[in-house]
Chain A
Amino acid sequence: MKPGTTRAACVALLRRDLTLIWRRRGDALNPLLFSIIVVALFPFALGPEQATLARIAAGTIFVALLLASLLSLDMLFRSDLEDGSLEQLVLSPHPLSLLLACKIAIHWLTTTLPLIVIAPLLAQMLYLPDTVLPVLLIALALATPLLSLIGSVCVALTVGMRRSGMLLTLLVLPLIVPALIFGAGACNAAQAGLPFTAPLLWLGAWLVLALVLAPLAAAAALKISLT
Chain B
Amino acid sequence: MNPLLLWFHKLGSPPYFYRLAGRFLPWLYAIALITGAIGLYGGLVVAPADYQQHDSFRIIYVHVPCAWMSLFVYAFMAANGFVALVWRIKLSEVLAMASAPIGAAFTFITLVTGSVWGKPTWGTWWTWDARLTSELVLLFLYFGVIGLYSAIEDTRQAARAAAFLALVGVVNLPIVHYSVNWWNTLHQAQTVSLMGQSKMDASMLWPLLTLAFATHVYFFASLLTRSRVALLGLESGKEWVRALVNARTGGRQ
Q: Which A residues form the contact surface with B (CB < 8 A)?
A: 150, 153-154, 157-158, 160-161, 164, 167, 170-171, 173-175, 177-178, 217, 220-221, 224-225, 227
Kindly identify which residue among B151, B169, B171, B172 contacts A167, using a CB–CB cutoff of 8 Å. Answer: B151
* A220 vs B165: C-alpha distance when bound (angstroms): 11
Stretch of B10-18, B58-66, B136-144, B236-244 on the interface side = B136-144
Q: Say whether A174 contacts B151, CB under 8 Å.
A: no
Contacts A157-B148, A158-B151, A175-B169: A170 and B140 contacting too (C-beta < 8 A)? yes
Contacts of A171 in B (CB 8 A): 144, 147-148, 165
Interface size class of B (residues with CB under 8 A): 20 to 34
Q: Say whether B161 contacts A174, CB under 8 Å.
A: no
Contacts of B157 in A (CB 8 A): 224-225, 227
Kindly identify which residue among B133, B137, B164, B175 contacts A224, using a CB–CB cutoff of 8 Å. Answer: B164
Q: Say whether A174 contacts B144, CB under 8 Å.
A: yes
* A221 vs B81: C-alpha distance when bound (angstroms): 13
Contacts A167-B151, A170-B147: A154 and B137 contacting too (C-beta < 8 A)? no
3 interchain residue pairs of minimum CB distance = A174-B140, A171-B144, A174-B137
Contacts of B172 in A (CB 8 A): 174-175
Q: Say whether B175 contacts A178, CB under 8 Å.
A: yes
Kindly identify which residue among B143, B152, B175 contacts A170, using a CB–CB cutoff of 8 Å. Answer: B143
- Interface positions, chain B 92-124, Cβ under 8 Å from A, are none
* Per-residue contact bits, chain B 129-167, to A (CB 8 Å; 1 contact, 0 not): 000010001001101100110011000010011001100
Q: Say whether B164 contacts A157, CB under 8 Å.
A: yes
Contacts of B147 in A (CB 8 A): 167, 170-171
